[in-house]
DNA sequence: TTCAAAACATGACAATTGTCAGTTCATCCT
DNA sequence: AGGATGAACTGACAATTGTCATGTTTTGAA
């Protein structure tokens, strides 16, 4: 089985601040899981006894609102460590993680993480930096959600998808989401998202081939997103 | 001048994980500031060379949206440490901090914080725990902002204010916010907030005496907030 | 391949929310 | 006290968004 010491993914997350010995321990206790699209990694309210390091594929982190709708709070890809927050605060998970794609994740039991946190300041600070970054992103999302129109948020979502997941050889967004997922990222009704996507197509901002979407007029989309 | 070693506020935040010597260093380098209502502690985009420990009063942390409106992301009170996130990620502040009240804050130069983070795992982990908590709260705000109606959000805001800042001897919310600030917490137009507040008064959910607001029917308000 | 289920799409309408305009009220300064 | 300033409030209307109903296309399993 592959070893964390040789895993490139590690360079993208806080595990890179671990010493050789610490990493060895992680590697000895970790297990690897393959998940198919739609499967859940963990659910809101579940007690996690470890974290999940994403080696491939994309996961959506979502939370059920009291009105019964799902809100996607974040999309996590290669290098992301899921469940870290819950393990650190010793609370149940506040989000659900679901595979949007076929995924490969490594489960790392929490002791290896917690012990390293308590003994290796480099690692603790590295985790802290990542969490500080996540917090900033979350603050930005709050502002966007509360101050922008649905149309602006959809435009932003496409830009975000292109920036973070890239495009395929034909220029289509590498990450394909269902209209429902897009609606749940943006925080709107599925019908509203569909209508806006249709409008964007008519305006020549995007084009679509089946479920795949490509940004045609990046400038126009960006202008729309900031309200021009 | 008062010393951090004797400061009770410390018990509410991550400074409690500092050793005697570390605390002494903080105390020797800190300065205390008195701020009047409306004054700013720091602004979005500013480079911070330290953090601010709130000893008294309340601060609003807000961010300007591209459409020109302010969104209040968080209200911080006694014990809160402001600017921590920016110092840790070595980025400019992503939020502005303004006194909602008369305030007393201590400024702690960043070296004392950063050096302790790098050498004392207990402190690093304690800061991490606080940040994990903030992140969870931010996720909840994202869900509320995107999935709840303005009316529900206003109801939640009052409950939040009562839970976090308490009431005075007559039962009125201890923290008095302008209608504009309430609107900016909730992410809506000032007029909409005012209208909803009037409606809540008519429904007997709250009462008002001048700017002061009191919750009359906590159950009714809570039901409304979750959509019953 | 064929059929059922799910996803996508659109119309019609209702509800929510924002905007603009104007009035009243409170506060603060000289 | 008087007046100026800003906050609080209200009405009317427009724009946005959600909901329900219904049809079409795509997808996936038998």
Please report the DSSP string for B25-75 in residue order: HHHHH-EEEEE-TT-EEE-TTPPPSEEEEEEES-EEEEEE-TTS-EEEEEE
Q: Do B143 and A91 touch (CB under 8 A)?
A: no
Residues 59-78 of B with CB under 8 A from A: 63, 65-67, 69, 71, 73
Mean pLDDT, chain A, rounded, equals 95
Residue A132 reports pLDDT greater than 90: yes
Choose among A131, A225, A227: nearest Cβ to B135: A131
pLDDT value for B163? 96
Q: Cα torsion at B38, B40, B44, B47 (round to 10°)?
A: 180
Q: Do B120 and A122 touch (CB under 8 A)?
A: no
Residues 97-156 of A with CB under 8 A from B: 117-122, 124-125, 127-129, 131-136, 138-148
* A73 contacts: CB under 8 Å, gap ≥ 6: A61, A62, A63, A95, A138, A141, B139, B142, B143
CB-contacted nucleotides of strand C (7 Å) = 7-12, 16-21, 26-27
Nearest-5° Cα angle at A163, A157 to A164 = 90
In whole angstroms, how far apart are CA B76 and each of A58, A149, B14, B54, B99?
35, 28, 15, 8, 10
Name the residue closest to D18, CA to C1': A189
Report the distance separating Cα A153 and Cα A188, nearest Å. 10
Residue A78 reports pLDDT greater than 80: yes
Residue A11 reports pLDDT greater than 90: no
Give chain B's residues under pLDDT 70. Answer: 1
Percentage of chain B modeled with pLDDT above 90? 91
Is the shortest CB-to-strand distance from B183 to strand D under 7 Å? no
CB-contacted nucleotides of strand D (7 Å) = 7-12, 16-21, 26-27
Q: Do B143 and A71 touch (CB under 8 A)?
A: yes
pLDDT value for B1? 64
pLDDT, average across residues A91-105: 96
In whole angstroms, how far apart are CA A173 and each of A62, A144, A178, A207, A228?
21, 22, 12, 11, 24
Q: Do A143 and B73 touch (CB under 8 A)?
A: yes
Report the distance separating Cα A53 and Cα A10, nearest Å. 9
Nearest CA to A152 among A192, A108, A112? A192
Q: Cα torsion at B58, B61, B64, B69 (round to 10°)?
A: -40
Choose among A65, A95, A143: nearest Cβ to B147: A65
Name the residue closest to C15, CA to C1': B149
B67 to chain A: which residues are within 8 Å by CB? 147-148, 227
pLDDT value for A156? 97
Chain A residue with CA closest to B223: the answer is A66
Query: Which helix or strand (DSSP H or E) is residue A97 part of?
Result: strand A96-99
Residue A56 reports pLDDT greater than 80: yes
Report the distance separating Cα B26 and Cα B106, nearest Å. 10
Choose among B128, B138, B144: nearest Cβ to A127: B128
Query: Which helix or strand (DSSP H or E) is residue A61 part of?
Result: strand A59-64
pLDDT value for B30? 96
* A11 contacts: CB under 8 Å, gap ≥ 6: A79
Q: Model pTM?
A: 0.95
B111-134 exposure pattern, b = at least 16 Cβ within 10 A, e = fewer:
ebbeebbeebbbbbbbbbbbbbeb
Nearest-5° Cα angle at B205, B201 to B211 = 50
Sorting pLDDT into bands at 50, 70 and 90, what band is A123?
A: very high
Radius of gyration of chain A, Cα coordinates, nearest whole angstrom: 19
Question: Taking the alpha carbons of B80, B81, B83, B84 in that order, is the dihedral positive or negative?
Answer: negative
pLDDT value for B12? 87
pLDDT tens digits, A24-49? 999 999 999 999 999 999 999 999 99
Residues 150-189 of A with CB under 8 A from B: 186-188
- Phi, psi (5° rounding) for residue A54? -80, 120
Chain A residue with CA closest to B88: the answer is A129
The CA–C1' separation of B26 and C7, in angstroms, is: 59
- Helix residue ranges, H only, B101-189: 110-119, 121-147, 150-165, 179-186
Query: Which helix or strand (DSSP H or E) is residue A111 part of?
Result: helix A110-119
State the smallest CA–CA distance between residue B170 and chain A in angstroms. Answer: 32
**Would you call A209 helix, strand, or coil by DSSP?**
strand
B137 to chain A: which residues are within 8 Å by CB? none
């Amino acid at each position: 089985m592959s070893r964390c010491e040789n895993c490139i993914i590690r360079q993208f997350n806080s595990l890179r601040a671990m010493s050789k010995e610490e990493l060895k321990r992680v590697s000895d206790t970790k297990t690897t899981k393959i998940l198919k699209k739609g499967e859940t990694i963990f659910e809101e309210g579940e007690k996690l006894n470890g974290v999940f390091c994403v080696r491939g594929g994309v996961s959506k982190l979502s939370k059920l609102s009291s009105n019964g709708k799902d809100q996607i709070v974040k999309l996590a890809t290669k290098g992301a460590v899921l469940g870290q927050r819950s393990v650190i605060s010793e609370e149940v998970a506040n989000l659900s993680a679901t595979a949007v794609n076929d995924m490969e994740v490594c489960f790392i039991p929490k002791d290896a993480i917690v012990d390293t946190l308590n003994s290796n300041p480099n690692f603790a600070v590295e985790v802290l930096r990542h969490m500080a970054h996540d917090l900033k992103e979350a603050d930005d999302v709050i502002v966007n959600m509360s101050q922008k129109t649905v149309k602006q948020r959809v435009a932003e979502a496409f830009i975000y998808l292109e920036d973070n997941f890239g495009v395929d050889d034909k220029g289509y967004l590498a990450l394909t989401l269902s209209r429902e997922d897009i609606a749940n990222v943006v925080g709107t009704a599925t019908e509203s998202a569909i209508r806006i996507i249709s409008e964007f197509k008519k305006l020549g901002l995007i084009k679509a081939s089946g479920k795949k979407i490509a940004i045609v007029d990046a400038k126009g989309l960006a202008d729309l997103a900031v309200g021009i």
